[in-house]
Structure 1
Amino acid sequence: MPISEITEKLLAAKKDKGITFEELEKTIGRDETWIASVIYRQASADMDEATKLVTALGLPESTAEELTIPPLKGSLEPQIPTDPLIYRFYEIMQVYGMPIKAVVHEKFGDGIMSAIDFSVEVEKVPDPKGDRVQIIMCGKFLPYKKW
């Protein structure tokens, strides 16, 4: 996945500062995954959010304006992803996509889950057999229109 120049700067500053996405969440007042999506240029921030982010990372305030520009979304190549973590999401959709779709349609009817009116939370769940990753996706149901 090609990473933009601004993303490289932001990630380098984040690493240099030793700051986590969770710490940025507390500073900016937005969810850590949303903040990561701004850094990876998959979401845009308003000027206040962008200024808080670049200030927390010790970057010039002039860097903030670029983060307010609506990005070109969708960073994955149109092929099967090779990064193991991202591939697992692809695998999950290959295995569970149709079953999830069937359950959503049974509960809501014919429609989709919004990826615009949407949130995602990533949690670490301690487990004696090995910590677990819990991902909660929450999107508005959008019924298909009849005309």
Structure 2
Amino acid sequence: MKPFVSKQEAAQQVRVARHRAGMSWAQIAEQLGVDKEWSTAALLGSHPMTAEQAHVVQELLDLDDSTAEALQMQPYRTAITEDVVSDPTVYRFHEALMVYGPAIKELIHEEFGDGIMSAINFQMSVRRREHPGGDRVVVTFDGKFLDYQW
């Protein structure tokens, strides 16, 4: 039987292999023919990849069969661990949602009615915007509106 590799272990192996290969997340996404945001999330364990996608990544990053298999497995989408929450970049998103979350909720309800933004039917993009006072990070969340049905 082949050794078992968890999604988390596969993510760490991908991070190291990507660094060693000198490839960017965008370059990997281009080889896969998908958005860099989706492929990065998939390679870090949040989405399953098809066998074909996993094979492409396996070849690009010289990964073993067990890691490619793990990339194809359905993930458990659970609470973020304390290690992740303590990462300054991830924490800033938590902080922004703590400060602006209630306003976002009110504005969604005002604009769309009683409902939520889907995190399943969802896209995300990350880009740089040049600014004289320092470049800006622009993150766009694009989720389908789902109205509550009582």
| Cα contact 1:7–1:39 (8 A) shared by 2 | yes
- Note the 1:4-19 alignment, pairs <5 A: 4-19=8-23
- Cα distance in 2 between the residues matched to 1:74 and 1:21: 24
- Note the 1:1-147 alignment, pairs <5 A: 4-61=8-65, 63-74=67-78, 76-77=80-81, 81-146=85-150
Matched residue SS, 2:85: coil
- Cα distance in 2 between the residues matched to 1:22 and 1:79: 25
TM-score, reference length from structure 2: 0.88
Instruction: Give the superposed CA RMSD.
Output: 1.9
Unaligned runs of 5+ in 1: none
Q: Flag the 1:75–1:52 CA change in 2: closer, same or farther, 3 A.
A: farther
Matched residue SS, 1:41: coil
Q: Flag the 1:91–1:105 CA change in 2: closer, same or farther, 3 A.
A: same
Percent identity over paired residues: 34
C-alpha deviation, 1:80, in angstroms: 9.2
- Cα distance in 1 between the residues matched to 2:84 and 2:59: 37
Unaligned runs of 5+ in 2: 1-6
Residue identity matched to 1:99: A
| Cα contact 1:24–1:53 (8 A) shared by 2 | yes
- Cα distance in 2 between the residues matched to 1:80 and 1:86: 7
- Cα distance in 1 between the residues matched to 2:95 and 2:135: 20
Runs of 4+ in 1 over 6 A off after TM superposition: none
TM-score, reference length from structure 1: 0.90
- Cα distance in 1 between the residues matched to 2:98 and 2:31: 37
| Cα contact 1:42–1:71 (8 A) shared by 2 | yes
Matched residue SS, 1:52: helix
- Cα distance in 2 between the residues matched to 1:143 and 1:64: 38
